């Protein structure tokens, strides 16, 4: 098989020697290692290899570092603008809550991050899943191993979904650390007026991180589909991020309220219900159902596109 020949849609096989030589010449050892795991036929080993490759990339580390800066900068800004009496300076009223209890840094940072920063980082990772391999010239050599395209697609999506969880936890955990370092910490007053201890609040913060992670799974599926349409990762990333922004704009227009229940961004800020007593689970359930629908639709589109296209790179 010459380098110019397309990969058949059903995933042809090739000798291990040819595969290893091609991956080595591409200069991407990580993809060669991934192909080795494909040949072993272990789904867990394959996923583990993909996760290692993803989180060792300088770009991924940089994205997580950028997310970590959000709560740090927020906490420092509030600390600097707080006077000796503990009163915050200019800004929204909820920023003043941080001065009374540093644990609110996590909640505030999550509220700030989810409209733009988290979708941006998720769009970069999801848009790169397939298109990134194609642009490096390694996708062709992954597909000549006898595992099929479905497993590759599932593993790539699982990696993007894991990034959603890790990115959200970075915002929450770093926010808690920064808040505890700069402000007093104590029992937390919920939105419904009750006061809970630190342990209970930590559990609710983990639930909020899970809620936000679920909220981003639909966007990840959209990014995966966009990534199967092109061999230019930047195009897939940009399309995913722009679509996220457009959906939020549409959600904010009262003239288009009839579209709100169908927009994958509609429930993104619903995690505030987890700070009530008793917890209101309605938004959590509605959000999970909506994201599952987007995963099913765009996952099927990605599968249909990826399993029928000829791969030339």
DSSP states of 150-184? HHHHHHHHHHHHHHHHHHHHHHHHHHHHHHHHHS-
How many angstroms separate the CA atoms of 214 and 114, rounded? 12
Containing H/E element for 195? strand 195-196
Give the residue from 114, 217, 119, 210 showing the smallest Cα distance to 160: 217
Q: How far apart are CA 130 and CA 152, in angstroms?
A: 9
Question: Is cis: bond before 278, omega within 30 of 0?
Answer: yes
From 200, 218, 214, 212, select the one nearest 279 (Cα to Cα): 200
Under 8 Å between Cβ of 127 and 172: no
CB 147 within 8 A of CB 11: yes
Q: What is the pTM of this model?
A: 0.84
Rounded Cα distance between 37 and 27, Å, is: 18
Q: Is 7:143 a contact under the CB 8 Å cutoff? A: yes
Tens digit of pLDDT at every position of the chain (313 positions): 444 445 444 443 333 333 444 343 434 445 555 445 444 445 677 788 899 999 999 999 999 999 999 999 999 999 998 765 555 545 555 566 788 899 999 999 999 999 999 999 999 999 999 999 888 887 877 776 655 788 889 999 999 999 999 999 999 999 999 999 999 999 998 888 899 999 999 999 999 999 999 999 999 999 999 999 999 999 999 999 999 999 999 999 999 999 999 999 999 999 989 998 889 899 999 999 999 999 999 999 999 999 887 766 5
What is the residue whose two structure tokens read 């989810």?
114
For residue 118, the 8-state DSSP code is H
């Amino acid at each position: 098989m010459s380098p110019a020949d397309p990969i058949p849609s059903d995933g042809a096989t090739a000798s291990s020697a040819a595969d290893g030589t091609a991956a080595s010449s591409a200069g991407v050892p990580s993809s060669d290692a991934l192909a080795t795991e494909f040949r072993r036929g272990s789904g867990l080993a394959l996923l583990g290899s993909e996760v290692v490759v993803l989180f060792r990339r300088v770009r991924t580390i940089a994205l997580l570092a950028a997310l970590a800066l959000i709560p740090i900068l927020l906490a420092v800004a509030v600390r600097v603008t707080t006077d000796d009496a503990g009163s915050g300076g200019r800004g929204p009223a909820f920023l003043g809550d941080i001065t009374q209890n540093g644990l609110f840094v996590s909640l505030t940072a999550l509220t700030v991050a989810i409209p733009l920063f988290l979708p941006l980082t998720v769009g970069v990772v999801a848009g790169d899943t397939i298109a990134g391999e194609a642009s490096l010239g390694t996708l062709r050599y992954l597909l000549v191993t006898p595992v099929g395209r479905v497993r590759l697609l599932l593993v790539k999506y699982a990696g993007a979904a894991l990034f959603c969880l890790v990115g959200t936890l970075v915002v929450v955990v770093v926010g808690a650390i920064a808040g505890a370092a700069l402000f007093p910490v104590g029992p937390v007053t919920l939105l419904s007026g009750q006061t809970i201890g630190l342990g209970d609040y930590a559990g609710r913060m983990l639930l909020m991180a899970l809620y936000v992670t679920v909220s981003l799974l639909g966007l990840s599926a959209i990014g995966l589909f966009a990534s199967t349409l092109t061999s230019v990762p930047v195009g897939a990333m940009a399309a995913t991020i722009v679509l996220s922004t457009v959906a939020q704009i549409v959600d904010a227009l009262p003239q288009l309220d009839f579209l709100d229940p169908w927009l994958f961004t509609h429930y993104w800020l619903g995690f505030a219900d987890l700070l009530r007593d008793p917890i209101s689970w309605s938004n959590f359930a509605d959000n999970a159902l909506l994201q599952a629908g987007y995963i099913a639709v765009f996952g099927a589109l990605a599968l249909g596109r990826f399993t029928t296209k000829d791969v030339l790179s």
